[in-house]
Amino acid sequence: MSLNRLEWRLFILIVCSCHAAIAGDHYQYWPPSRLRQERQAVAEDQRQSYNMWPLHVVVALPLSEGWSYRNPFLLTLAKSQPVLDVAVEDVYWQWRLLPEGALDLSFVDTNLSDALGPQRVIEKHCAGKVDAVMGFAYVYAIAPVARMSYMWGNGVPVFTTSAMVDELGDRTQFPLLTRMMGTYKITARFVLNLMLAFGWSHVRFVFNDHAVETSTRMGRSECYFCLLAVRNIIKQEKISWTHDVFHERSDVPPDYHEILKKASLESNIIILCASPDTVREIMLAAHDLGMATSGEYVFINIDVST
């Protein structure tokens, strides 16, 4: 049974996305003369079989890492392009899945902007140069693209290694979005299973969120989205929770000693989410207060930056 155009897009893009994890174990060296012969033979055979090429793949990522709150996984075009270039070569010559030139990769700078990022992809769509989209480091930038893409032609699949936000799993809103790294629901289920295993019935969330200061005009943090998924799943099991939010880059540094004193009055199970440096400061404060050595408190750190 032959694959339709959309199924081919999905299949080839998944192969390309996964290549970074497996290429090192399967690479085979061919002499230049052999490689040229194979290229010519494969290209000629497959050009006679397919007439839909090229598939235009738009890779949308920032040029620079920028602010960590918009790019928590520090994705950039410079880091991703070499991996994709090698993956495409393997699709052509090692796995022989497509003829040479079947994939047309174009790279656009999203500027870590929820306005400019989607606009760059829309410009490609208007030019008839997008059959699939990959990338996006900023969750607020990928949402409008993933929401619109199913209306472009026969549908344009969107692939990303970020965007683990719970809400983006709504298939009625984002039908062609594939998140290669999973979602925060996986973390939430782990936390739930851990709490059920130990019989914990109450938890305190202590996390960083830029939106706590309205003057920053920033979107919600990855910590917020992650712990939102945790909250949504634990409340189904009647596990209660309270929270304390801070902005780790505030002009007035947070008082972690005071935050922990308040937390100790609410629960002895404390879930932290912040940058590694901030978590270190919190645990030093916990040590000063005797909370890290008394054996009465459990600290769980969720690191969304790795």
5-179 CATH fold = Rossmann fold (3.40.50)
**To 10 degrees, what angle do helices 276-288 and 256-266 make?**
70
Q: What is the pLDDT of residue 53?
A: 85
For residue 111, name the pLDDT band (cuts at 50, 70, 90): very high
The token pair at 52 is 């839909």
User: H-helix or E-strand containing 40?
Assistant: helix 32-47
For residue 26, name the pLDDT band (cuts at 50, 70, 90): very low
User: H-helix or E-strand containing 15?
Assistant: helix 5-26
User: Contact 222/168 with Cβ under 8 angstroms?
Assistant: no
Q: What is the pLDDT of residue 52?
A: 72
Q: Which of 242, 263, 243, 245 is nearest to 254 (CA)?
A: 245
Span 183-239, pLDDT tens digits = 999 999 999 999 999 999 999 999 999 888 766 567 889 999 999 999 999 999 999
How, if at all, do strands 269-273 and 202-208 pair? parallel
Span 35-84, pLDDT tens digits = 566 666 655 555 555 567 899 999 999 999 998 888 988 999 999 999 99
Residue 17 has pLDDT above 60, yes or no: no
pLDDT higher at 36 or 177: 177
The boundaries of every CATH 3.40.50.2300 domain in the chain are 5-179, 184-301
Residue 103 has pLDDT above 90, yes or no: yes
DSSP assignment, residue 53?
Answer: P
* DSSP secondary structure string for all residues of 75-133: --HHHHHHHHHHHHHIIIIIS--S-TT-EEEEEEE-TT-TTHHHHHHHHHHHTT--SEE
Considering Cα of 152, then 154, then 158, then 163, what sign does the dihedral take?
Answer: positive
184-301 CATH fold = Rossmann fold (3.40.50)
